[in-house]
Amino acid sequence: MKKAVKYLSFLLLAFQFGSEAVAQEASGQTLTVGQQGPTGFGSSRQDPKNILKDIQIRATQKDGLIPFSPLQPFRDRFKDFNDALYRRAGMKLGVAFHHLFQGASNVLPMTADSGTATDTDITGSWELFRRGQPTMGELMFSVEGRWDYDTVGPQDLGFSSVETAGGTANTFSAYDPSFILRNLFYRQGGEEAGWVFRLGKITTDALFLTNRHISPNATFLPNAGTGVFAAGFADSGLGIAGAWYLNDRIYVGGGVADSNGDRFNWGDIGAGQFYKGVELGVKINPLTEKASFSKLLLWHTDGTKDGQPINANTGEAGWGFALVAEQELTYDGRLVLIGRYGRSFENAAIYDQQAGVHLLYYDPFGRFKNDAIGTAFNWVDSTFENTREEYNWETFYRFPLLPDVDTTLSYQAILDPAFTTDFDFSSVYSLRMTTSF
């Protein structure tokens, strides 16, 4: 508990520094993908709505270390098809590919020390009425595919070989079957309308405590560094969620979802066990119009019918709270500081506590329109017995190798892996490549 208090004190000092930092004048640059998009409820870059927006934004940016791309002809044909589909039926499609190679310096004996996997998102929307209006209603779906080429997926490398509680590569592990229907819901409204809701098969960790600067497919990699899993999230399942924006600085959101939700099927909502959350979002000290909301979540879960863990839920009933706080450090929004803390009670989440501090700097060299440098420090106190507190430091550089292919070089230093005492330190090296259509 003392360490948690120290961590919270550090966060408060960091944000005080952020609010008092000497701000730089806006440079008039084009905003990158990470600096655009939703800022309030459901602002995860892995949410289907935001995947489509990211694809559209990224298609307008033509910088690259290599100034031409062999994928462009395929991209042009897909755009023509998509444009025709939208004109005739009001439908949009998007496809994003994320591939990761990862290796570790220290692993358990007789386990893999490297692995590779691909995470693919096929996303679509069907605009049903009030097309183009803030109150537009649409049906959305996302199909997610993951495979590991008969190797070890990097996410499994972190959990099984390095024995971490915080993981090393969120989302990068194989599915069986390889493709699943992850989301299918009706959505209406948005930040501009002042209200938004969705109903159907939803993903709670893509709605609560989200921040568009944090994503395993674009910025940071570890599970503990990309999600607040001390919030005991249920898996993708049937539910309803929404938010009401009191003004452009404050909103109140909430949702109820099947705590037996399972991304591989439709869960068991008839069991009558639910995950509930209420979220308050506030823009504390915005320096640009696109500053993100800081968020506080109070949550409760009824557990699962068989008491088995699903996603961030251990299967036990319990509750907790968590927060994500963001502060822009410059008037152009290029330098961003983010702090996160979560606490669960009654062993209801896979982490009793977790905390993290993230710093991102967009367009650091003034050469590309979609490069970024990031560094983060994460701390995890696992709920499970016979574990130790774990620490993870990560730093990365992302740049456009081709005009339509982003490449990320990442390093993680893992101290005191939670589930083993065979070693106290492991270095983890990653290469991630991403493209979208």
Mean pLDDT of the chain: 91
Strands 351-362 and 335-345 come out as antiparallel
What is the structure's pLDDT at 37?
65
Overall average pLDDT of the 144-168 stretch: 96
Alpha helices by DSSP H, listed for 21-143, are 48-58, 72-89
- 8 has a pLDDT exceeding 50: no
Domain of residue 381, CATH code: 2.40.160.180
Q: Mind listing the pLDDT tens digit for each residue in 345-366?
A: 999 999 999 999 999 999 999 8
Half-sphere CA count of 411, side-chain side, radius 13 A: 6
107: pLDDT strictly greater than 80: yes
The lowest-confidence range among 76-90, 93-107, 249-263 is 76-90
Spatial CB neighbours of 73, under 8 Å, sequence gap ≥ 6: none
Residue 35's pLDDT is 62
429 vs 35, more confident: 429
Q: Exposed, middle or buried by CB within 10 Å (0-12, 13-18, 19+), for 244?
A: middle
Res 6: pLDDT: 47
pTM of the model: 0.90
Q: Which band of pLDDT confidence, cut at 50, 70 and 90, is reported for residue 56?
A: confident
Does the pLDDT value for residue 16 go beyond 50? no
Check residue 59 and give its pLDDT.
84
Residue 7 in this model has a pLDDT that exceeds 50: no
Structural domain harbouring 123: 2-436
Q: Which two tokens stand for residue 347?
A: 């062993």
Number of domains in the chain: 1
- Whether the pLDDT of residue 232 is over 90: the answer is yes
User: Cα(383)–Cα(206) distance, rounded to whole angstroms?
Assistant: 22
Token pair listed for 119: 């995470």
**Cα(268)–Cα(180) distance, rounded to whole angstroms?**
17
pLDDT on residue 123? 97
Select from 90, 189, 195, 198 the least CA-distant residue to 135.
189
pLDDT in tens, 300-311: 999 999 999 999
pLDDT score, position 26: 39
Q: Is the pLDDT of residue 434 over 90?
A: yes
Q: Give one DSSP letter per residue of 336-353, joined into a string.
A: EEEEEEEEEETT-BSEEE
Query: What pLDDT is recorded for position 75?
Result: 87
Residue 9: band (very low, low, confident or very high) from pLDDT cuts 50, 70, 90: very low
